[in-house]
Structures are given as C-alpha cells and as structure tokens.
Structure 1
Amino acid sequence: MKVSFGVIQAITRGLSSEGLVWVDKGGLELQGCLIMIPKRILEKESKDESSDDNDYVPYVPLKQRKKMQLQEIEKKLGRASALKEEELQRESTNEESSDHQEAEQEEGQEEKDEGPKAHISLLDQHSELKKKAEARKETAREKLLKEEERILESVAEKKALMGVAELAKGIQYEDPIKTGWRPPRYIRSMPEATLEKVRKKYHILVEGEELPPPIKTFKEMKFPKSILHGLKKKGIVNPTPIQIQGLPTVLQGRDMIGIAFTGSGKTLVFTLPIVMFSLEQEKRLPFVKGEGPYGLIICPSRELARQTHEILLFLCQCLASDGFPEIKCGLCIGGVPMKEQLNAIKRGIHIVVATPGRLMLMLNKKMITLDVCRFLAMDEADRLIDLGFEEDIRTIFSYFKGQRQTLLFSATMPKKIQNFARSALVKPVTVNVGRAGAASLDIKQEVEYVKQEAKMVYILECLQKTAPPVLIFAEKKQDVDAIHEYLLLKGVDAVAIHGGKDQEERTRSVSQFKNGEKDVLVATDVASKGLDFPEIQHVINYDMPEDIENYVHRIGRTGRCGKTGVATTFINKGVDESILLDLKHLLIEAKQLVPPFLANMQSDSEKYLNIGGEVGCSYCGGLGHRIADCPKLEAIQTKQAQSIGRRDYLAHSSADY
C-alpha cells in the first residue's frame, strides 16, 4: 500500500526520510528503523484514495445549480419565517384565527373524534359529527345567500317607479287614499286570531301594515244587488281566496300587490272596486264632456285589454239595469282607429282600459289627461315592468296630478319585481295565494319527448286526448302559421293569432274560438297572459317556451275557476337544460308525474334550491336554479353589453346620410 509523502512527512517530522520505500499495515520501514503509524490515519488516507479513484461526480448544468442554490436559500428563509410565525402566534393568542386555519383545526378535531372512544357511545359520536357537518353546511349557505343578495342588489333598479315631478319635488305620500267603504261592524270587531284562521283556511298569505279583514261573501262586501245577480249569471256565487282578501283591501283604498295562480279571479279584484268608485264619483258630481278618466287599467296585450273592457261593460250594464247612473268605459289599444276612441273620451269617460303604446301616444298628443285619475291598476304587472314597458309606465306616472291608488296583479311576480314595484306604492298590502309562479293544481301536466320532425304529426294524436276546444301554443310566428295550415288541410276547424296579424283578424279569431265556432286556436304568447277561455280542456305546447313564467301562463288557460284541464308539452334535445330543470321542479311542486328523462337530470346547484326561505331563483322565479345560475339574467346582461355604444353609432351614421 502506498502512502503519500505529506502523510509521512507529518508523522516523521524532524527525522530523515531517506530510504523510505514500503510500509505495511502495522508500521513503516525507514533507515532500518520501524516507525508506527496510527491505524486511523492509514484508514483515512486509504478512504481518500479510494474516493479519488472510484467516486465520479457528474456535471451539473448552470441552470440546475442556480435552482439548487435557490432551494437552499428558500429552506433557510423558510426556517426563519417559521420562527417568526411561531413568535407571532404566541403574541396573538387572543386574536381570532383565519377561516382556513379554523377549517384545518376542525378537520383535525374530527380525525381525533372519529377514533374509538371508550366513554362515548357510537350514537353520541354520530350526532356530534352530524351537528358539525350541519354547522359547516350552514356556513356555506350563508356565503351563498350573501352572494345572491349582492347579485340581486346589482340588478335591482335604483330609480324609484314614480313620476318625474314627484321625484324632482321629493313628494312622498305617507297615508293611503281614504274611501267611504267600511267593513261591517261585526267583522271589524272580530279578534285578529279569528281573521288569521280564515286566512289560514284559504291559504292566504298577507303582508303589510293595518291589514284589512278577509270577507267570505259578496253580500258582506256591500255590493249592490244588481252586481250580485250579474255575478250569479256568470256562475260566480262565492268569492275565491284572492277575492276574499283582495276586494276588502282595494275597497278600503289600500295599494296592493296581488299574486295568485291563473284562473283564480284576479280581474274582479280590481274591476269591481273601480266600477263602484266611479259610480260614487258620478253620483256626487256627474262627469261632463272631456272629463275623465277616474280609473285607468293597463294591460300588456290587446286581447287582454279587450277582455277586461268586456267585463267592465257587463258590470256597468248590471248597474244601469237597476236604475244607477251610466258608467262609461273606453278602450285604447293599437290596431283600432283612434277616432272612435277619441269620440268616447270627448263625451266624458269614467274608466279607460289601455295598452302602454297607444296610451303613451294619446297622452303625448294631449288627447287624454289623467288630471282627475285616482285609480291605477296594472294587470300582468311583472310583464309590463320586466319586458320593455318600464320606461313607458314611469312616464305614464308623470301625467298624474295627485295621489293615486295603485294595484299590481299577476300570477308570476318574482322578488325583484315586487321590491321594484313597492317604490310606487304607499303602505302596500301584498296578498299571495300560493307561491308566485306556481301552476294550478287543477291542471294535469304531461311532458312528452317528441323529435322536432315528428311534432307536427303528433299534434293530431294529442288532439284525441280531450274534446274541443283546444289551445296550441308555439314560440314563433312561422310555426303558428305552419300548424294552422296543417290542421286546416287535415280538416280541423282552426284559427290562429300572432303579432304579425292585423287587429281585426285577431279579434275575429278570438271571438270565433270563444263562441265555439272553431275547435282549435293556434297562437304565440300573445294569447298566454290573462285571457279567459273558461271551457278549454286541453293546452298543447308545441315547443317549450324560453321562460318558465311563460309556461305557467300558457298552461293556465285551462283548469280555470275550479275546473280541471290537461296540458301537454313537447320537449327534445333542443330545449335548454336550465328550463328543463325548472320544469322538473315545477312538476314536483304540483305533484305531477315526472317522466324518467326529466327525473334523471341533475344540476350542481340543486342542493341549494331551497335556502334562506327562498325557493329557486329570486330573479325569474324558476325552481331549478338559483340567481347565480339564472339564464334569463345572463341573457339580459349579455343583451345590455351588446347594446353599449350602438345607439350613438347608429344615430351618428343616420345623421351623416
């Protein structure tokens, strides 16, 4: 074994090194003398030699070396920061830890709790774990509710639904309008607990201050005998739940939001009082030429306005037949010559039923004034406010010269619309019979999967389910015309209406269908809101509407006034999933048969559909999603984003040419 010169020199310092040739394990032969070298030194030297000879260190690239250096620095910094964190934790022992640290502590505690405990039974352990899981679930719900409140606030209208003059002058009405009507004394003396039992019996939910009492008969509401006889001729003997609470509320002069399912008699709640108030004004001081109206009713469609006008004429005729003064009613809708409407107004008028477009035109041209108008009712109010008529309604409010009694009615009234509408009301009373947007339980809803190309043929098969009359709804005007033509070719007596037809043809078609001259009416959604066809037994949805509210209005044309009806809806892969989920939960709520292809549909947000006392979406009223996933809200926001700057561009380009 060879030993390096440095080792020997270190050992034999001060001695001559001549004759140094070999060494063994025990020592070193030098000039005839044996010098002993410690074994540990020899082992170290041999180890160094072996590492020099055998260990090969590979080449490390510069990039990797820098990375290794950074890792070393991070480790050192990590140790330093860990020490600092420990010191900060010691200093802030009394402060609250972050949500993430709390979650980690809870998870760690759960892991401990899940272990075997001799002194705690498994049942107690299970209940304890269940409580902790529910607590964490509540936290998630609270976060979701806060997020939904933020979304609802961001889309809520900041501008109150009031007239320009009222907003500019800061006019605020504190007290409702006073009327001469009072409930019978024995009803006024009833304790609140008794009145609450009546509301509970008829499933009436009421919100507001100083609630008027519910009254169960028309006679106790002090209507004239001629009105009672007229209602009896129409088959109306006892008031419906919305009328039991709604009529006393309106007669007492209170502002009201009325929500009830389709076919529940909402129209009488505002037509009967407006006729009585007009009669009272006429008896006090007769209306002269050019004066009026005293009451105004606004409807979203011409057909609904015409139907409401016919009901008012019937009630006024009942009064006139019993010797009461004549109450004049006018109809202001598009598609009809304005001359006839102007002639009726110039003679002096008590009540006007109008659509927003024609009313705005007549107000702008000063053909009609609202100086003495003190009664405003909006039928299908959510449609009026939500679908483009909002600015028109706000402008119409500006033409009133004093305080008015305002009534809003609809079958679907989402929270967004209710909150917005309350800005125009004075101490409003909200009367709700059933959930806003719920379908009538008297309707049997059937949902069938039909391919797009098979729909037209399948309509004939569906017509065999019930006897006529039958109402068929389609989303597009072209589909309405195609279905109408197909049915006529097959020998079915059918008529059709949509926005593209002139008013005379629309009126004639509706009249023929109502009178039983035609068996089938094919229509778009213009016939879905408010129209009363009492004998309809079957409604067919050729396609699923894009909005679940429209579906509720469509099927509500049957099963009215306590009668039963059938609604058949065609769906296929072309229908949006969110609408199908809304439909699924609407069927479950109405205790209808849910087809398997709908029952198997699931969404991520279904576990949060009923939280905070609010079911489904607070924006559109759909049951299959929350406001964070609302397709209607998303579509409106997209439309608004697309229209930014477009009007200015179009105005500029038109000015150039």
Structure 2
Amino acid sequence: MAPAAAAVAVADDEDDYEDYIPVSKRRATDALRFRLCKPAAPSSTASLPPPPPASTDNKASLLATHAQLKHSTPELTATERLIQQEKELLEDLSSTAKPLVPVAQAARGITYTSPLHTGWKPPLRLRRMPRGRADELRRRWHILVEGDDVPPPARDFRDDLRLPDPVLRVLRERGIVRPTPIQVQGLPVVLSGRDMIGIAFTGSGKTLVFVLPLVMLALQEETLMPVVPGEGPFGMVICPSRELAKQTYDVIETFLAPLRQAGFPEIRPMLCIGGVDMRTQLDVLNKGVHIVVATPGRLKDLLAKKKMNLDNCRYLTLDEADRLVDLGFEDDIREVIDHLKSQRQTLLFSATMPEKIQNFAKSALVKPVTVNVGRAGAANLDVIQEVEYVKEEARIIYLLECLQKTPPPVLIFCENKTDVDYIHEYLLLKGVEAVAIHGGKDQEERQNAIEFFKSGKKDVLVGTDVASKGLDFPDIQHVINYDMPAEIENYVHRIGRTGRCGKTGVATTFINRNQTETTLLDLKHLLKEAKQRIPPVLAELVDPLADAEAIAQESGVKGCQTCGGLGHRIADCPKRERQNSMAMAASRRDQYGGGGYRGEM
C-alpha cells in the first residue's frame, strides 16, 4: 500500500475510535438513568431533567427495561391483586394434583369422550319438554346445573323415572312420595349414564340418587348375563367411615328384599369394611357379587390379595367425596381406581364440595353434569343454629342445661376422643342414658352404640366427627357441639344430623377464646347467610375482608375455594396450611424412614 493511502486509512480509524469506558462508570450511568426513569413524587414541585438519550450503540440495561415495563403496565387494585393471587394458588394446587384415572389408562393415552350408554330413557313427554320449561322447573326448586345436554328434571317416581313396583312400594312405606330437589334432577342424570357431581345440603336425600340407579343397573346386568361364582361387582360405593358404609348397605338391602320376593333376579350386595370377619366377605365373593359398599382400607386389602377384581365394574360412587380426600384416603382411592379395566360411570356426592375438589374430580369425569341445590358448604336452612359463649371450665355444667331444651334423642359432638369418654362417663353418673362412639373403639362397640341410639334404647350419643359424615338419624331434634370444630365443613356436617327430610331441628354450639378468629369469622358468615341470630361475641369481630362482596362479584367465587368458609379467602385458609404441614411431615418420613431421626435414637 502506498504511504499516502496508509495515512488516510489510519485517519479514518481514529475518527471512528471510541474511548474505553470502565465497568464501574457504565454501571453508574445505568443507575442514574434508572433513577431518572422513576416518576416524581406527587408532593415534589421540582422538575427533574430528562434522562440522557440512550446511546445507539449500547443496549438498555435490564434495570431500565424493567422500570419501563413496570410503568407501562396498568396498576392493579388491591382486589385485583387478591384475585390474581388466588388464581395462582389454585393453579399451583391443580398442577400438583394427578388426574383421578387408572395408571394404565393414562399410560396408554386413552381418553373417553362419550358417557356410558344405559338402557334407561326418559319418557317421551320429558324428552319433548321445552328447554325453557325445564329451566323454569329448576329455578322453582333452586337447582343449579352445569354441563352439556342435561336430562330434563323428573317430578314423579312412577311416571317419569319408571321404577319397578316393589321399589315404589318401599318408597311409600318410608314416607317418600315425591322426589326431593336433588333427586328431581340427579336421578335422570345418573339413570341416563352421565358422570355427576351432586351437591346438596345434609338430609336432602342424596343417598337415593346413587342407590336406586345402582340397583337398576345390577338388575339389568344380571338379566342380560348372570354373575358366575367369583365374578363381580358391577357397581361400587366407597364411603369414608364404617358407619356410613353400613347405613348405605342397609338402604340397598331395603330395596333388594322386596325385589327378590317379587320374582326379580337375586342381587347379592357385600359390605366391605374393617372390623368385620373377612371370611364372611369372602363367602359372598365366592358366590359372585353385584354390589360392593366399602371403606377404602378393607377394599384395597382385598384387591391387593386378589380376592376380588374390578374387571366388570362400570359404576363407581364416592359418597362424601371431599371427606375421602381430606381424611387422607386419596392414595387409597387411586389404588382402587387402578384396578378398573374399562370406562365406568363416576359419581361424587357431598354437602360440602369446595371448588378445589370439584376441579380435581372433573379430571376423571366424562362430560360431567354438576347438580347443585344451594351453595356448596351452606348449612341446612331447616336447622335453628344457636351459638353460646361458654367458658372452658363451665361447658360440662352448661351441657346438662342444653340437654333439657328438647326431648331425646340428642347428639353431642367433640373434637377429640378424651372429651368423648369424659362426657360419656359424666352423663352416666348423672343418670343419662348415653352411649359413645369414636375411632378408638372396636367395630362391635361402634355398631352397638349406633343401633341402641337409633332404636331409642339410649337417649344421647356422644361422638367425634366419625358420627357426622352422612349418618342418618331421622328423629334427632337437637345437636350440641361441645366445641367448635377447627374447619367450618365439619360444623356443617355436624349440624346436618338434625333437620333432615324436611323436619326442623336445633343446633347449639359452645364457643370461647380457644377458637381461632378465622374459624369464628367463618361461623359468623354462615349464620348471616342462613339468616340466624348472631351473638354479640361474633358480631364484634372485625372482618378483615371488608370488601368481600366486591371480591366475590369480581372473582365469581364466594369465600375460600379450599374449604368453603365465607370468613376468609384461600390465601389465609387454615385447612390449606394443615394440609401443607401434613405433606411436609410425610415427605420427611419418606426421606428419613418412618419417623425421621427419632426412629434411630
């Protein structure tokens, strides 16, 4: 290259040359730019100089970009932030929950899109019922439905549902002439083969909604192809407690005996619960069984030992479904479902069905129909709720006064077994005919206590929440909560033992300083919803959710989506905190084996 040309090239390079800027100086410049990007305080009148123009050669820092994006995003109100937080919490809970489907079905990627076909059809006049007329009937009975192609409501057992004469005769003998609201809509849905989530207050007749179609299905299957020894069942009902399973089994037997006498095929049910000799259950299985009513533990045991199979099971009901999940039976239910070989009709029933449980259940259902009579978790309006502030040491004395409010029988609920035994002994010393029931007693004692109480031989039943889940005591006029349960769902189930089948009842609840403010707020809102008297001690409580109504309107959800409590939102739910604590404890047991380091000490 010529010298002159070389000199020109060097001059050009010097013109494009930029001085090196140290890192510390660049950071200081970016920090200054970030501070200048922030908006001025409202009280300040001084005008800040505009930020220096960004160099076209250097990219904007991440801090400056974040500040610009933050100021360009519209500011959320407190209500909108709370709703967004709840959505994130629910999404997090839903993402950790596995779908309630058999492992083999999930592994093969099998997805059912059509519900099961049954031999039942609504009468022609129901099928031709205009949609507006069906909606009008549902509004009249306060029935809320969700789902596609919902069958029309049926108002008569004989003409609309076409049940056999022996079944109709049993219903008349039990004083059941017309269907209740949950039966009006629930029975057509279940008889037509649809998956269903049934929500209705306690004592509304939910048991018949899944028992009658189950009996009809068993009759149909036995007629088409009789059961051979060792085969079955066609349908299964899973309950959270032995007492509820025994009660459901007795209801099924009530309908099967007249059908056998009328010449219908023999249907063999089986009660599969712990505390009962397994040889008796195996004898029924060896003959071939049509219907199984079970608790999760014994059912899982029989399936693991290959004493029973679910190859032909096409009908699965989870009674008190939310209780099954809350009481730690979720893993047992999953093991049972893994034994199902084909598509089945799945039904879930409860009086308290929080949004979280409904979303979890829908993962296993095919085109489900949700039938809701009233708000999920609402108290029975036929129960007069009385709340009394009673000091801890005065409860046992005041208990005797409360027993004189109404004639027997009376139910008394306690949180722990020790209080049950203490009250039982105290009442016996005072000459009160009382029996007790809790999880620490063997099955024979528990069953005898229930039978003595139902038959009227005993006036008072003292028990833990094991007696609150679905048990039917038709003549109870009074329920006493010796202590307020920690979760509002248990309170709803407890007071639901009275005021059943259209009758009225009284529920008296003792509260004091031992209850948390969250629980008392839930109770206050529940009383307000049911238009009951709110005692001064609850009325004085300051509600932290002053704009709860606005939140409910914007989010479309009233109260907590985990437990159904109206006095708090999901972020402050004590039930969610308890479940998280249990999950952490379980993870530690898995890691360290059985009990952490304590097992090695």
After TM superposition, the score normalised by the length of structure 2 is 0.87
Q: Which residue pairs with 1:65 in the alignment?
A: none
Q: Deviations over 1:286-325 (max 9, x none)?
A: 1121111111000000000000000000010121122211
The one-letter code matched in structure 1 to 2:350 is S
Q: Please give the alpha-carbon distance, in whole angstroms, between the structure 1 residues aligned to 2:364 and 2:586.
A: 28
1:337 correspondence with 2:303 = no
Runs of 4+ in 1 over 3 A off after TM superposition: 78-81, 85-88, 95-103, 641-646, 651-657
1:617 correspondence with 2:540 = no
Q: Which of 172, 180, 188 does residue 111 from structure 2 map onto?
A: 172
Following TM superposition, by how much is the alpha carbon of 1:225 offset from its aligned partner in structure 2, in angstroms?
1.2
Following TM superposition, by how much is the alpha carbon of 1:640 offset from its aligned partner in structure 2, in angstroms?
2.7
1:327 correspondence with 2:327 = no
Q: Please give the alpha-carbon distance, in whole angstroms, between the structure 1 residues aligned to 2:583 and 2:79.
A: 30
Q: Which residue pairs with 2:98 in the alignment?
A: 159
The one-letter code matched in structure 1 to 2:214 is I
Where 2:49 maps in the other structure, the secondary structure is helix
Residues 361-400 of structure 1 mapped to structure 2, 5 A cutoff: 361-400=301-340
The one-letter code matched in structure 2 to 1:617 is C
The one-letter code matched in structure 2 to 1:361 is D
Identity of aligned residues (%): 59
1:83 correspondence with 2:23 = no
Q: Which of 489, 510, 514 does residue 450 from structure 2 map onto?
A: 510
Residues 40-51 of structure 1 mapped to structure 2, 5 A cutoff: none
Q: 1:469–1:538: 8 Å Cα contact kept in structure 2?
A: yes
The one-letter code matched in structure 2 to 1:505 is E
Q: Which residue pairs with 1:640 in the alignment?
A: 583
1:469 correspondence with 2:469 = no
The one-letter code matched in structure 1 to 2:48 is A
Q: Taking structure 1 as reference, are residues 204 and 273 closer, same or farther at Cα in structure 2, changes over 3 Å only? A: same
1:216 correspondence with 2:155 = yes
Q: Please give the alpha-carbon distance, in whole angstroms, between the structure 1 residues aligned to 2:140 and 2:71.
A: 47
The one-letter code matched in structure 1 to 2:162 is K
Q: Please give the alpha-carbon distance, in whole angstroms, between the structure 2 residues aligned to 1:526 and 1:415.
A: 24
Q: Which of 441, 448, 451 does residue 388 from structure 2 map onto?
A: 448
Q: Which of 416, 419, 424 does residue 484 from structure 1 map onto?
A: 424
Q: Please give the alpha-carbon distance, in whole angstroms, between the structure 1 residues aligned to 2:144 and 2:416.
A: 37
Q: Deviations over 1:356-389 (max 9, x none)?
A: 0000000000011101111100100011123211
Where 1:521 maps in the other structure, the secondary structure is strand
Q: Which of 494, 510, 523 does residue 554 from structure 1 map onto?
A: 494
Task: Extract unaligned runs of 5+ from structure 2.
Answer: 1-34, 55-66
Q: Please give the alpha-carbon distance, in whole angstroms, between the structure 1 residues aligned to 2:97 and 2:578.
A: 20
Q: Which residue pairs with 2:25 in the alignment?
A: none
Q: Which residue pairs with 1:5 in the alignment?
A: none
Q: Which residue pairs with 1:192 in the alignment?
A: 131
Following TM superposition, by how much is the alpha carbon of 1:395 offset from its aligned partner in structure 2, in angstroms?
1.2
Q: Taking structure 1 as reference, are residues 228 and 491 closer, same or farther at Cα in structure 2, changes over 3 Å only? A: same
Following TM superposition, by how much is the alpha carbon of 1:277 offset from its aligned partner in structure 2, in angstroms?
0.6
Q: 1:386–1:417: 8 Å Cα contact kept in structure 2?
A: no
Q: Taking structure 1 as reference, are residues 554 and 101 closer, same or farther at Cα in structure 2, changes over 3 Å only? A: closer
Following TM superposition, by how much is the alpha carbon of 1:641 offset from its aligned partner in structure 2, in angstroms?
3.2
Where 1:376 maps in the other structure, the secondary structure is strand
The one-letter code matched in structure 1 to 2:337 is F
Q: 1:437–1:552: 8 Å Cα contact kept in structure 2?
A: yes
Q: Deviations over 1:378-412 (max 9, x none)?
A: 10001112321111111111101111000000000
Q: Please give the alpha-carbon distance, in whole angstroms, between the structure 1 residues aligned to 2:208 and 2:355.
A: 24
636-645 or 219-228, larger mean C-alpha shift: 636-645
Q: Which of 83, 96, 121 does residue 182 from structure 1 map onto?
A: 121
Task: Extract unaligned runs of 5+ from structure 1.
Answer: 1-73, 89-94, 104-135
Residues 161-310 of structure 1 mapped to structure 2, 5 A cutoff: 161-219=100-158, 220-310=160-250
Where 1:82 maps in the other structure, the secondary structure is coil
Q: Please give the alpha-carbon distance, in whole angstroms, between the structure 1 residues aligned to 2:600 and 2:230.
A: 44
Rg comparison, structure with higher value: 1
Q: Taking structure 1 as reference, are residues 490 and 148 closer, same or farther at Cα in structure 2, changes over 3 Å only? A: same
Q: Please give the alpha-carbon distance, in whole angstroms, between the structure 1 residues aligned to 2:473 and 2:151.
A: 32
Q: Please give the alpha-carbon distance, in whole angstroms, between the structure 1 residues aligned to 2:123 and 2:73.
A: 65
Q: Please give the alpha-carbon distance, in whole angstroms, between the structure 1 residues aligned to 2:222 and 2:526.
A: 47
Q: 1:164–1:395: 8 Å Cα contact kept in structure 2?
A: no
Where 1:568 maps in the other structure, the secondary structure is strand
Following TM superposition, by how much is the alpha carbon of 1:155 offset from its aligned partner in structure 2, in angstroms?
1.9
Following TM superposition, by how much is the alpha carbon of 1:349 offset from its aligned partner in structure 2, in angstroms?
0.8
Where 1:290 maps in the other structure, the secondary structure is coil
Q: Please give the alpha-carbon distance, in whole angstroms, between the structure 2 residues aligned to 1:379 and 1:656.
A: 41
Q: Which residue pairs with 2:80 in the alignment?
A: 142
Q: Please give the alpha-carbon distance, in whole angstroms, between the structure 2 residues aligned to 1:606 and 1:619.
A: 20
**Aligned-residue CA RMSD (Å):** 2.4
Following TM superposition, by how much is the alpha carbon of 1:80 offset from its aligned partner in structure 2, in angstroms?
13
1:415 correspondence with 2:320 = no
Following TM superposition, by how much is the alpha carbon of 1:600 offset from its aligned partner in structure 2, in angstroms?
1.1
Following TM superposition, by how much is the alpha carbon of 1:96 offset from its aligned partner in structure 2, in angstroms?
9.3
